[in-house]
Amino acid sequence: MNVDLSKASMNVGQQYEAILTTINNEGKTNAAPFGVRIIEEDKVMLKIFEGGNTIKNIKDNGEFIVNITNDPIMFSYATTTSIPDEYLSRINYDDHEFAHISNADAYFICKVYSIKEGMRKDNIKDSEANVIKADVLELKINSPCVRPMNRGIHALMESLVNYSRINIVDKDTQDFFYRKI
């Protein structure tokens, strides 16, 4: 094992929110946020719905970069359109060109070893989804205190704030807070 994701505070069995950067067949970079589950110190799993740019690029090329950042602007760009080129850099690994977020706290290069297509049921609807497993070939850490984003912790903080205000709001707001909690 050459790579150990725990060096970037990413532990086996945990899921983190990250931004995937891929390059399409015309050479254009795409960036979008996804949940990344750590299945071994050097292996990750993603569940990606069918129909987007990232899954197309991954199916075409079998590779991607996972960027670790807490920058809300990067997550906003990546969710609404893509990240503008001025925030991105290119690197060469094993004669392949990859793109990453220039100021990411860390990023790692992934090569897909398995894609399984199927239906994924969540609280919105049943959709075609792909379960992707990939080896991590190289990890680059840029920040001494890299902390990957964990959506559950943000949701918990929001719930605790709502809970702490439950006795000072009106009934409608209480019901709204309880539904959110």
CB of 157 to ligand FMN, least distance (A): 15
Residue nearest to ligand FMN (CB): 52
Residue pair 90/55 in contact by the 8 Å Cβ criterion = no
For ligand FMN, give the closer residue by CB, 47 or 174: 47
CB of 33 to ligand FMN, least distance (A): 4
Q: In a 10 Å sphere around its CB, with 0-12 CB exposed, 13-18 middle and 19+ buried, how is residue 6 labelled?
A: exposed
Residue pair 56/112 in contact by the 8 Å Cβ criterion = no
For ligand FMN, give the closer residue by CB, 8 or 32: 32
Q: How far apart are CA 176 and CA 37, in angstroms?
A: 31
Site mask for ligand FMN (CB under 6 A), range 50-79, x = bound: --xxx------------------------x
For ligand FMN, give the closer residue by CB, 121 or 171: 121
Considering only residues 7 through 46, tell me which ones interact with ligand FMN, judged by CB under 6 A. Answer: 17, 30, 32-35
CB of 83 to ligand FMN, least distance (A): 10
- Is residue 84 within the footprint of ligand FMN (CB under 6 A)? no
Give the binding site for ligand FMN (CB under 6 A).
Answer: 17, 30, 32-35, 47-49, 52-54, 79
